[in-house]
Amino acid sequence: MSESTLVLALTIPAFNPSPQTGAGNNTYLLPGREPLLVDAGVGDPRHLDEVERALGGAPLARVVVTHHHSDHAAGIAAIAARWPDAARLKKPWPERDGRYGVSWAPVDDGDEIPAGDGSLVAVWTPGHAPDHLCLFDVESRTLFGGDLMVRGNTVVIPASHGGSLSQYLASLERVRRLHPARVLPAHGEPIDHAEALIDVYIEHRTQREAQILAALAGGASTPAAIVPRVYDALPPALIDFARESVLAHLVKLEGEGSVRRVAEKWEVGSGK
């Protein structure tokens, strides 16, 4: 458990390392008058015990889930069992919100949420997921970034499961306009130069797009066929994520009129 330097936020690990989550998820507790937990983890008892210790006997007032992917939301039932009076908040995703058997209070873009001894502003940042929220502390300019950014890595856009690369790039530009001093991500270390990382992300996506177009021109016509042409020696556990990323690029390019889908295959050229 560690403490950020810009806003009183205790980092509490969710104890879920894996090839997909790296060292595992970060959750963040803001103690004070209105203790708030950012993300619910996966229900590991060690996570719940760490949260309880950090609360120091105070009740948990609310938990905000940045989005409904399992490594962020699956622990909500365990949290509800231990702190039944804690409000459970997220931006609605109707197709998934009933998955863990709890009810949610809706959060919308721009909502101000009591947190610790201050408040956080909800910033809707779809792309990685349609319900993805960041939470912004205006005074310190600290952004709780969920899966929007990861230091030293890129973010998967799961196009088959609600992801949108076009929305993701727009969300990055929206966060750039906030000029965050620090981003506290759900995975990895804090990000102190968010705007520079956004530039890196956009350049990376531009390069990947060119690689995918070249692969299509060279005869690859499905995400599975494109992956080995644009990724080097991927571990087997990450191949599905790479296919999703390629599909996200193809859907974006289709919307822009650069590629078209014919049955289950893709080719260069406008379908409009």
* pLDDT score of 1 more than 50: yes
The greatest distance separating any two alpha carbons of the chain, rounded to the nearest whole angstrom, comes to 63
Residues 32 and 122 in one domain: yes
pLDDT score at 2: 54
Mean pLDDT of 185-199: 97
Structural domain harbouring 117 = 2-163+179-192
pLDDT score at 140: 94
pLDDT score at 234: 87
| Those residues with Cβ within 8 angstroms of residue 124's Cβ, 6 or more apart along the chain or in another chain | 91, 108, 109, 132, 133, 171
In a domain, 27, yes or no: yes
Q: Residues 79-117: pLDDT tens digits?
A: 999 999 999 999 999 999 999 999 999 999 999 999 999
Mean pLDDT of 230-236: 89
The model carries a pTM of: 0.94
The rounded percent of the chain whose pLDDT value lies above 90 is 91
Q: Give the DSSP H/E element, type plus range, for residue 198.
A: helix 194-217
pLDDT score at 3: 53
Q: Is 136 in contact with 143 (CB distance < 8 Å)? A: yes
Q: What is the CATH classification number for the domain harbouring 138? A: 3.60.15.10
Which segments within the chain are labelled E, that is strand? 2-3, 10-13, 26-30, 36-38, 62-64, 87-90, 105-106, 112-115, 118-124, 133-137, 142-146, 182-185, 259-262, 265-268
Residues 235 and 117 in one domain: no
Measured distance CA(73)–CA(40) in Å, rounded: 5
pLDDT score at 249: 98
pLDDT score at 272: 54
* pLDDT score of 5 more than 50: no
pLDDT score at 197: 97
Q: Residues 237-264: pLDDT tens digits?
A: 889 999 999 999 999 999 999 999 999 8
- The rounded mean pLDDT for the chain is 95
In a domain, 47, yes or no: yes
Q: Residues 124-175: pLDDT tens digits?
A: 999 999 999 999 999 999 999 999 999 999 999 999 999 999 999 999 999 9
Residues 136 and 50 in one domain: yes
Q: What is the CATH classification number for the domain harbouring 227? A: 1.10.10.10
Residues 135 and 247 in one domain: no
Q: Residues 7-27: pLDDT tens digits?
A: 689 999 999 999 889 999 999
Residues 117 and 237 in one domain: no
Number of structural domains the chain divides into:
2
Mean pLDDT of 204-221: 97
pLDDT score at 14: 98
